[in-house]
Amino acid sequence: MTEGIYNKILNNLDSYEAYKEEIDMKNGLNNVIKWADNNNIPESIVPRDLYKLQKVETLVLDKLNIKELPNDIEKLINLTELSIKDCDLRTLPSSICKLTKLKYLNLMYNYHLNNLPECISNLKNLEKLTIDETNIIKLPESFGNLKKLIFLGISNLKLKYVPSNIKQLNDKLIIRLKIPNNRTETYIGKNEWVHLMLKENKKDKIKSFFFYKMGIKLYI
């Protein structure tokens, strides 16, 4: 086989792979559109034009009757902000972890949402995560790898497990807390949060009224 024929074959393979990727992207975007249609989401929120949809950077789905996101949410590769506040969300697809440009994820007031995907650490650019008022009771094992996270909202969560690698989180991280059944909202820094939780764990007791009422214990 001559070098010219070999290079031609490689070019054809590259073209075929690019074609496959293009078809896969179009199919995925069409699935997102079908999902939007089935959930009566206005075109002003989810564009029905493929080109415009792929370019979307901010998606606000607040107060819509959404129980789940489409698996093809990953095709919205330019998303930097995703807000699904006060919906009826029950679960998150693991494909959301492929939205590597995502900086802000708002899941507040989804009372039936009880977990985050274990792959959430793939969201390397995530800076703000709000999961206040959800039914989430544990943070994923990989949570400490969210190195760019600078704001975490966990008000009124009854967390039962937090991984020890929260020590690796950004030192600039601010945590918003609220004791369940109490109107008092508090903001504390990452180091204070970790220190209090590690201290309580080492004593094998939870003497702090604040964390005791929140039902949080750190297992290491």
pLDDT tens digits for 95-133? 999 999 999 999 999 999 999 999 999 999 999 999 999
**In the block, residue with structure tokens 């989430």:** 136
Q: Where are the domains of the chain?
A: 3-214
- What per-residue confidence (pLDDT) applies to 115? 94
Distance CA 151, CA 218 (A): 20
- Tell me the torsion sign for CA atoms 118, 124, 125, 128: positive
pLDDT-based confidence at 159, cuts 50/70/90? confident
Decide: 95 and 118 in contact? Cβ < 8 Å: no
For residues 169-191, average pLDDT = 85
**Residues 1-15: what's their mean pLDDT?**
52
Judged against a pLDDT cut of 70, whether residue 14 lies above it is answered with: no
Q: Is the pLDDT of residue 17 over 50?
A: yes
- The set of long-range contacts for 101-107, using a CB threshold of 8 Å and a minimum separation of 24, is 101/77, 101/125, 102/126, 103/127, 103/128, 104/80, 104/128, 104/129, 105/129, 105/130, 106/62, 106/82, 106/130, 107/131, 107/134
Which residue has better confidence, 192 or 147? 147
Residue 10, class by beta-carbon neighbours within 10 Å (0-12 exposed, 13-18 middle, 19+ buried)?
A: exposed
Q: What's residue 41's pLDDT?
A: 97
Lowest mean pLDDT among 6-15, 20-29, 119-128: 6-15
What pLDDT does 195 receive?
78
Question: What pLDDT score does 185 carry?
Answer: 83
Higher pLDDT, 53 or 196: 53
pLDDT of residue 204: 40
Mind spelling out the 3-state secondary structure of the chain?
Answer: CCHHHHHHHHHHHHHHHHHHHHHHHHHHHHHHHHHHHHCCCCCCCCCCCHHHHHHCCEEECCCCCCCCCCHHHHHCCCCCEEECCCCCCCCCCHHHHHCCCCCEEECCCCCCCCCCCHHHHHCCCCCEEECCCCCCCECCCCHHHCCCCCEEECCCCCCCEECHHHHHCCCCCEEEEECCCCCCEEEEEHHHHHHHHHHHHHCCCCCCHHHHHHCCCECC
Mean pLDDT taken over the chain? 85
Quick one: what percent of the chain has pLDDT higher than 70?
Answer: 78
Measured between alpha carbons, how far is 82 from 79 in angstroms, rounded to an integer? 7
The larger pLDDT score, comparing residue 208 to residue 19, is at 19
Report the distance separating Cα 119 and Cα 98, nearest Å.
9
pLDDT at position 202 over 70: no
pLDDT at 212: 47
64-90, pLDDT tens digit by residue?
999 999 999 999 999 999 999 999 999
User: 3-214 in CATH: which number?
Assistant: 3.80.10.10
Query: Can you tell me the mean pLDDT for 138-145?
Result: 94
